[in-house]
Amino acid sequence: MKNIVLVLLLLFCSVAGFAQQDAQFTQYMHNTINVNPAYAGSRGFMSVFGLYRTQWVGLDGAPETSSFSLNTPVNKNIGLGVSLVNDKIGPVNENNLAVDFSYSIQTSATAKLSFGIKGTANLFKLDPSKLKPEDQGDPKFQDLGNKFSPNVGAGIYWHTDKAYVGVSIPNFIQTNRYNDNDVAIYKDRINYYLIAGYVFNLDRYELVKFKPALMTKMVEGSPLQVDVSANFMFYEKFVVGAAYRLSSSVSALAGFQITDGLYIGYAYDRETTKLANYNSGSHEIFLRFDFLNRYTRITSPRFF
């Protein structure tokens, strides 16, 4: 059996020695509000989203993430959103509560450009008992309770019914936690995002749609993360696809439009690194509910 102490220490040191990244999602194209506040209200109706992700199943101390968000347009130009993300990895338990505001301008008959700001309250907790230090009285491990820190971010999001491009920085402030002699044990670094996607109709009846999507994330001290995905929608009901995370994993994706307003999605990731020898993959499932009525009902389900 794997040594839980060793695994937790390795996970913790990898975070502390380099840079903490934001929570990772395979189905990022459905969870845009977490990385770009300008997305708030862009769907044209209130949308509620819930996601659960368990990563590297079978590996002690592996990441586990829960996400909930709600966003809605207030009027033709303004959108609001709120989201909560709980991210656990080894001895670390982190909660992020964010409020998003967006303002949109019509750039053409079919396109809008949105500007967004995000305010975040972060509650960070490290459980030293899971590290099992040799010296239980070591003062370095005595003040590791809840740590609160505020942050602010911004984003730009251009979109039509068939395409989108966005750039964002969810958190502008770099946070150093648990400083000891001016050395940060844990650093929360700035994350930079670029997202893009397009929807192609593959037949004249628009019964089969193809959507390639891209997300890149850059964090100082960590490798550039590039996610590419390709999803197909059939008869506006069934979605299947695949994704690839550069030098990390491959994924299978599936979704089903249960009703006009209710959509469920699932993704399975398999590592392409040596880490695949120590876990059975990652699972991610989400539900999205759109509040539609006879005035907001859409003729075709949104692909993003």
Report which of 223, 227, 259 is spatially closest to residue 243, judged by C-alpha positions: 227
Helix (H, G, I), strand (E, B) or coil at 87: strand
Phi then psi for residue 132, to 5 deg, are 50, 60
Residue 178 pLDDT > 90: no
Helix (H, G, I), strand (E, B) or coil at 6: helix
| Res 92: pLDDT | 86
- pLDDT over 70 percentage in the chain: 81
- pLDDT over 90 percentage in the chain: 66
Distances (CA, A) of 159 to 25, 107, 180, 291, 298: 21, 10, 46, 21, 16
Q: What is the pLDDT of residues 40-96, one digit of tens each?
A: 999 999 999 999 999 999 998 899 999 999 999 999 999 999 999 999 998 889 999
Torsion angle of the four alpha carbons 268, 272, 274, 278, in this order, in degrees rounded to the nearest 10: 10
DSSP state of 299: S
Report which of 196, 180, 178, 177 is spatially closest to residue 188, judged by C-alpha positions: 177
Q: What is the pLDDT of residues 104-128, one digit of tens each?
A: 999 999 999 999 999 999 998 877 7
| Res 202: pLDDT | 94
Q: pLDDT band for position 294 (50/70/90)?
A: low
What is the residue-averaged pLDDT of the chain?
86
Domains of the chain (ranges, CATH numbers): 26-132+140-290 (2.40.160.40)
Residue 13 pLDDT > 80: no
| Res 289: pLDDT | 96
Q: pLDDT band for position 12 (50/70/90)?
A: very low
Q: Which residue has the higher pLDDT, 219 or 5?
A: 219
